[in-house]
């Protein structure tokens, strides 16, 4: 069973399943990069396997993100700075902080997320 939930679109009078959009973090010079999606109701956020994290943690990284990163590494979810499997975070911002190694705004680092959430609010 997939942890990602598809939405139903009723375009043209027909109901069909629509995959949730994939959002991307790309670091300068390709040092790390990640892909993720919102879950069903857009409350949680899934980082996809194969995503990589910044190796260095900055002074602005929240304590909760440091603890989460350490936990994921000890569980083998993150190995050699790479997600070995999909992982669900409580929010896109929590995922961004773990990936970027610093305090990070989801709307600033996940490309396309702000535009998507703004258009969904309409």
In this predicted structure, the answer to whether residue 13 has a pLDDT above a threshold of 90 is: no
SS3 103: coil
Residue 81 phi/psi, 5-degree rounding, is 65, 25
Task: Average the pLDDT over 65-86 and give the result.
Answer: 98
- Report how far apart, in Å, the C-alpha atoms of 3 and of each of 24, 46, 66 are: 18, 8, 24
- pTM of the shown model: 0.83
Residues 18-32 have pLDDT tens digits of 678 999 999 887 789
Task: Average the pLDDT over 94-111 and give the result.
Answer: 95
Q: What is the pLDDT of residue 1?
A: 30
What's the token pair of residue 87? 């992982």
Share of the chain above pLDDT 70, in %: 84
Chain mean pLDDT for the chain? 87
More confident residue, 116 or 16: 116
In this predicted structure, the answer to whether residue 5 has a pLDDT above a threshold of 50 is: no
The Cα 18–Cα 12 span in angstroms is 14
- Report how far apart, in Å, the C-alpha atoms of 11 and of each of 15, 19, 24, 66 are: 7, 14, 26, 43
CB 115 within 8 A of CB 121: no
Q: What is the pLDDT of residue 56?
A: 93
């Amino acid at each position: 069973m997939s942890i990602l939930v598809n939405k139903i679109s009723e375009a043209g009078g027909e109901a069909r399943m629509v995959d949730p959009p994939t959002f991307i973090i790309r670091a300068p010079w390709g040092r790390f990069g990640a892909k993720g999606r919102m879950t069903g109701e857009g409350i949680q956020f899934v980082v996809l396997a194969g995503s990589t994290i910044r190796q260095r943690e900055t002074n602005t990284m929240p304590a909760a993100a440091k603890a989460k990163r350490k936990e994921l590494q000890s569980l083998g979810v993150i190995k050699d700075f790479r997600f070995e499997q999909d992982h669900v975070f409580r929010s896109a911002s929590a995922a961004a902080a773990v990936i970027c190694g610093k305090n990070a705004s989801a709307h600033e680092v996940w490309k396309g997320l702000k535009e998507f959430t703004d258009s969904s609010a309409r």
